[in-house]
Structure 1
Amino acid sequence: MSRVELQPCWVLHRRAWRESSLLVEILTPVHGRLGVVARSARAARSPWRGLAEPFIPLQASWVRRGDMGTLTALEPVGDSVRLVGRALWCGLYVNELVLRLTARDDPSPELFTLYGHLMLAMTETGKLAVALRRFELALLDLLGVMPDLAREADSDRAVLAEGLYHVDPERGPVPAAGPGRHVFSGELLLALAHDRIDEGDLAARSRALTRLLLDRQLGGKPLHTRSLFAGPLLNRTAEIEGDS
């Protein structure tokens, strides 16, 4: 049996278990993603009631024997990140993305830092789409599956801003004869490659490209949180903001 004391963590997901407990997926810098049981966390007098929730910076202690750990301590280390409206939906989307694309027990301090920065960035008015795109691209890069958008896949020639390119999610850009499915401007590809996504409407325009790249890694299985954007008002706002 292993024992871990007061590790920084974020809750990615939790669900009810038995009469008053929770099954919780947490993200930590040293131990990666793992599942823990929060016993009696839903009980009326539990000090953890309302604490094992997404978007609250936490410290957790646990003991572990086998696949699941058991929480022994849980405490906040700062104010919860107040996500409302579209920012809340996008936070849930990011959590599902991390759950789907990462494995348990695969430590990544870089991902933990990236996630924390995203939580703060999503509270800034008008920067939601930019924050999301940067996170999606950085996550793909951390996973080692981000193609080089600045070079042609077949020839290794530099992508030209004035060109059009078909993007293969695994190989990268290939010159295209004209507009079409999965065809993007060289200007957009270069902006993403050089982290200039905050210029003009590039964050909104890059939504289709990041979705193409992510969907390949998701194996064609849809994200449940994308259904949250299915309503007319949410779709209309998504088109304007370019979210998820």
Structure 2
Amino acid sequence: MNTAGTSTLSAAFLLHRRDYSNSSLLVECFTEQQGRFPAVAKGVKGRGKSASGLLQPFVPLQINWSGRGEVKNLTHYEPDGRMFRLDGKALFCGFYINELLIRLLQRNDPHERLFQNYRMLLSQLDASGINEASLRYFELEMLVELGYGIELTVDLADGRPVEAAKWYRFVQESGVTECPADIEHAISGQTLLSLELRSLNDPRQLKEARNLLRTVLGFYLGDKPLKSRELFRHAL
């Protein structure tokens, strides 16, 4: 979808920004109405810190834009609530989520539910730091929104319901199937059911869910590693 812009304001966040010419910024917008797209914010670096300060990640915005090309012109922006202040590990987590969205979202493909989930996750990171279970739920819901959802409650081999006491392995683009408990990256049925119900509640389940979702996301991300993951690793 290639639109000329919008005359009404749309809720938005910036996923990334970089300098563009001497006075402008090239920003990657994630909007509720239009999805993800790049835009040029012209002349903002000459307007003082307040203009440039708004145009950064984790600031809720209302924006509009113009242009029929792939890169839009940002014509108006204003705050839509206070900036989410992420520190330490929560900040790296925010960068990680932003990079996932840039890498996986198609441009100009709206995902209103995903946008709201993103806002809620930033709010949680701002209020209480990293909650690993919430991060796993966001990853899972993002995959569902993008059409890559995982069937967690049915054994693909025979169609039987996943059982809490059994162990399973993940088959890419297919689902889960029963396996011995001692194979690498085996996932307990209890973890699969807890992930489906959004009720992960112990370190073992969190580790298994993290390994599962890293495998699934890695398939769609391809061979290029996530910069944010490397940054986070070096910061620890």
Secondary structure of 2:151's aligned partner: coil
TM-superposed CA distance for 1:27, in Å, is 0.7
Pairing 1:83-232 to 2, within 5 Å after superposition: 83-125=86-128, 128-197=131-200, 199-201=201-203, 202-231=205-234
8 Å Cα contact 1:82-1:123 kept in structure 2: yes
**C-alpha deviation, 1:187, in angstroms:** 1.1
Answer whether contact 1:122 1:131 (CA < 8 A) is retained: no
The answer as to whether partners of 1:114 and 1:135 remain within 8 angstroms in 2 is: yes
Equivalenced residues, count: 232
Paired residues of 2:90 and 2:130 also in contact (CA < 8 A): no
CA–CA distance in 2 between the matches of 1:227 and 1:126? 20
> Equivalent residues in 2 for 1:24-39 (5 A)?
24-39=27-42
Equivalent pair of 2:121/2:134 in contact (CA under 8 Å): yes
Q: What SS class does the counterpart of residue 142 from structure 2 fall into? A: helix
CA distance in 1, matches of 2:149, 2:5: 36
Shift of 1:160: 1.3
Query: CA separation in 2, counterparts of 1:44 and 1:2?
Result: 26
Q: CA deviation at 1:44?
A: 4.8
The alpha-carbon deviation at position 180 of structure 1 amounts to 2.1
Q: 1:203 to 1:127 in 2, by over 3 A?
A: farther
Query: 1:43 offset after TM fit, Å?
Result: 2.0
- Residue 8 of structure 1: SS of its match in structure 2? strand
The DSSP-based 3-state class of the residue aligned with 2:192 is: helix
Q: What amino acid maps onto 2:82 in structure 1?
A: D
1:72 counterpart = 2:75: yes
Aligned equivalents of 1:83 and 1:127: distance in 2? 10
In 2, Cα distance between equivalents of 1:184 and 1:220 = 24
CA distance in 2, matches of 1:184, 1:75: 46
Quick one: distance in 2 between partners of 1:127 and 1:47? 29
Task: Report if aligned partners of 1:147, 1:169 keep a CA contact under 8 Å in 2.
Answer: no
Give the root-mean-square deviation of aligned CA atoms.
1.7
1:3 Cα offset (Å): 3.6
Q: 2:53 is matched with which residue?
A: 50
Question: Which has a greater percent of helix?
Answer: 2
Contact map agreement 2:180 2:186 (CA 8 A) in 1: no
**TM-score, reference length from structure 1:** 0.89
Compared CA separation, residues 164 and 204, structure 1 to 2 (3 A) = closer
Q: Does the aligned pair in 2 maintain the 1:62–1:71 contact within 8 Å?
A: yes
| Residue pair 1:87, 1:122 contacting (<8 A) in 2 also | yes
Counterpart of 2:162, as a letter, is: V
Compute the TM-score of the two structures, normalised by the length of structure 2. Answer: 0.92
Cα distance change on mapping 1:47 and 1:127 into 2, 3 Å: closer
Identity level (%) = 37
2:15 matches 1:12:
yes
Is 1:2–2:35 an aligned residue pair?
no
In 2, Cα distance between equivalents of 1:43 and 1:66: 25
Distance 1:22 1:137 in 2: 32
Kindly provide the amino acid, as one letter, of the partner of residue 202 in structure 2: G
5+ residue gaps, structure 2, are none
